[in-house]
Chains A and B, each alone.
Chain A
Amino acid sequence: MKRNIPLLITALGGFVLIIAYFIPATQGWGEVAAIWFDVLASIAFVLGGGNLLKIHLKNISDRKIGWAYSAVTLAAFFITLVVGLGKVGVNPNPQYPDYALSGHYREIGSPFWWLYEYAFKPLTATMFAMLAFYISSAAFRAFRAKNLEAILLLSTAFIILLGRTFAGVYLTAWFPDWMSGLKIENLTVFIMSVFNTAGNRAIMIGIALGIASTSLKVLLGVDRSYLGSGEE
């Protein structure tokens, strides 16, 4: 029962979405199925919040390595929750001036907006900016010319990178018209639009077939490993 009902719901939801794609009259059913998923995901937010509290309180209580981070996480969680749900510092909506909570929680200048603009966004941007350094270190390792394939990869990457800089364009600007195909910016376009696109499409076709096959296995209940193993 514990496995059959989820399987039934999965199959029903999946087939309804497929039918809705081809049969216009059932389009509404697909929309209802999608709404039900949103409802479930929203309920799961509470589950997630509860788990977050439990895990981090336990970290603090056990004085685990990095427990101070858990304290910061919980403090940030509660401050954001109170400020957001309580609409702290938000002015009432002009249409309903008598209702203190009628304003929008993201009102410009409100504490919640301030938290988002001056705490959350810079932190996110910082994490994203770190990517540049990781790309450099990964590229340094990937582009070592240790065999023929690596040399080909290195040469191609060199052309592409150079072709997207002013220096690269300047280097081959003196090529006569009949050699324009060898100008580095044109080589870059050629490599990206022919070799890269061909390789990418091959991967995409494999992915599309894999998705279709996996979806069918899940809908038919052939693959149940995401529900746990075979035992009830």
Chain B
Amino acid sequence: MLNKIGIFLLSLAFLNIFSNLNAAETNIPNPPSSFTAQDHPWDHGEKIDLNWIHSLNHQTYVQHYSIFQSTNSDSFEFIGIVDPGVSSYTVEKLDREKAYIFKVIAVGADGIESSPVVTISAISPTREWFDGRRFPLFFITLIFCGSVVYWILRARGGDPLNIRKIAGLEAVDEAVGRATEMGQPILFIPGIQDMNEIQTIAGITVLSKVAQVAAEYDAKVEVPTSRSLVMTAARETVQASFLTAGRPESYNQDLIYYVTDEQFGYVAYVQGMMVREKPAACFYMGAFFAESLILAETGNTIGAIQVAGTAMPAQLPFFVAACDYTLIGEEFFAASAYLSGEPDQLGSLKGQDIGKVIVVIGIVIGVGLLTLGTLLGPTSSLGMTLISAADYLKSVILT
């Protein structure tokens, strides 16, 4: 009897093991198929696109796909995982000089892996002659630059161009005149960035006009800089302005000097100098950061007439609060054209207006698509299409 029970229990145990083995076998995800690797189009030659067809039982058993790469088929390096519903992956940061082999494995619950699928042949990423993602930007750049050049040529041809009055630039004569009357120096700060910053260049162009007026009035312009190259450029500019004004002998290069590259070290020096020498007019033209308010408030305290211009949006409120006149963003870049009055430069401002028209068209199209799409609802196909189009405009064309 005991033997019979023993045989029965043993049979049950075998049956149990057998059924478990069967379950484990059926839980194994099938490998994906048609695994291909292709060069990513219109890129710098550092990406490869991988595509595959899902495992037959991917909806049931696949938790994710694991991707591996190798430059030789012996050792594969893990590079990422993708969700089971996804059947493509773009490998980035590859070397054009190397050939790569890729491997994909479907991974199920408890880390059970399918048999690996490997690309048939090695592939190297290739670099395209043009970065296709930037084509919309290239097109916009061409239109914009074309319009600027076109209007410069029109202006050269004698077309009359008007520019609205900019109070901050009209005040240059007033500020310099005041400094002359008071017998105090003029302080000009061309920002705290180097010559590779376009705002510094814009600041230096304003300096040329300020220095010319100062030379005509026989006033002293002091330019402490926080970069050596800016000092050199400012010296050349001021010297040329004094020459243009017919007073080359009044030029003193020691008034344009280097202080320090350190932001707050520079501020400490300029602030101390302002308190000691009490300049009658202060110009802040360039790229500024946290020091903007410290400088402008100190200038306000000593009663100087102050004109500021910057393209740093975060600093504009500080300048508006503390200065008499502030050139906001594009006004600052228009200063050179405004002050020189040269047709060439005024023409470039007209070309800039074409850029504004492009922006307005973009805004109207984007807002229109998004509003209509939202009104129709993302559930309707038309609504979804409109929302997708707005998203494409924002994230592909304008990015």
How would you classify the secondary structure of chain B's contact residues: helix, strand, loop or mixed?
A: helix
Contact of B201 among A21, A22, A220, A226 (CB under 8 A): A226
Which B332-371 residues have a C-beta within 8 angstroms of A?
A: 332-334, 336-337, 340, 344-345, 348-349, 351-352, 355-356, 359
Chain B residue nearest in CB terms to A137? B297
Q: Is the CB of B348 within 8 A of A138?
A: no
**Does A58 make an interface contact (CB < 8 A)?**
yes
Q: A213-B352, A216-B145 are in contact. Are A55 and B329 (CB under 8 A)?
A: no
Q: A51-B258, A139-B321 are in contact. Are A41 and B229 (CB under 8 A)?
A: yes
Interface residues of B, CB < 8 Å — how many? 87
Q: A214-B202, A225-B340 are in contact. Are A24 and B330 (CB under 8 A)?
A: no
Q: Is the CB of B348 within 8 A of A212?
A: no
Q: Is the CB of B294 within 8 A of A228?
A: no
Interface stretch, picked from A85-93, A125-133, A161-169, A171-179, is A125-133
**Does A47 make an interface contact (CB < 8 A)?**
yes
A23 / chain B contacts, CB cutoff of 8 Å: 129-131
Which A137-195 residues have a C-beta within 8 angstroms of B?
A: 137-139, 141-142
Q: Is the CB of A55 within 8 A of B257?
A: yes
Per-residue CB contact flags for chain A residues 195-232 toward chain B (1 = under 8 Å, else 0) read 00000100111110111111111101011011111110
**Does B231 make an interface contact (CB < 8 A)?**
yes
Interface residues of A, CB < 8 Å — how many? 60
CB of B131, distance to nearest CB on chain A (Å): 6
B144 / chain A contacts, CB cutoff of 8 Å: 209, 212
Q: Is the CB of B148 within 8 A of A213?
A: yes
**Does A44 make an interface contact (CB < 8 A)?**
yes
Q: Is the CB of A44 within 8 A of B232?
A: yes
**Does B290 make an interface contact (CB < 8 A)?**
yes
A52 to B265, CA, bound (A): 13
Q: Is the CB of A217 within 8 A of B348?
A: yes
How would you classify the secondary structure of chain A's contact residues: helix, strand, loop or mixed?
A: helix
CB of B332, distance to nearest CB on chain A (Å): 7
**Does A61 make an interface contact (CB < 8 A)?**
no
Q: A24-B45, A24-B128, A48-B228 are in contact. Are A206 and B329 (CB under 8 A)?
A: yes
Contact of A226 among B152, B233, B267, B356 (CB under 8 A): B233
A203 / chain B contacts, CB cutoff of 8 Å: 313, 316, 328-329
**Does A134 make an interface contact (CB < 8 A)?**
yes
Interface stretch, picked from B79-87, B169-177, B238-246, is B238-246
List 7 tightest A-B contacts by C-beta distance, closest first: A228-B240, A210-B333, A48-B228, A206-B330, A44-B228, A127-B264, A142-B321
24 contacts between A and B (CB under 8 A): A24-B43, A24-B45, A24-B128, A41-B194, A41-B228, A45-B228, A47-B231, A55-B258, A124-B263, A128-B290, A131-B293, A138-B293, A138-B322, A141-B321, A209-B330, A210-B333, A214-B198, A214-B201, A216-B348, A218-B201, A225-B209, A226-B201, A226-B237, A228-B243
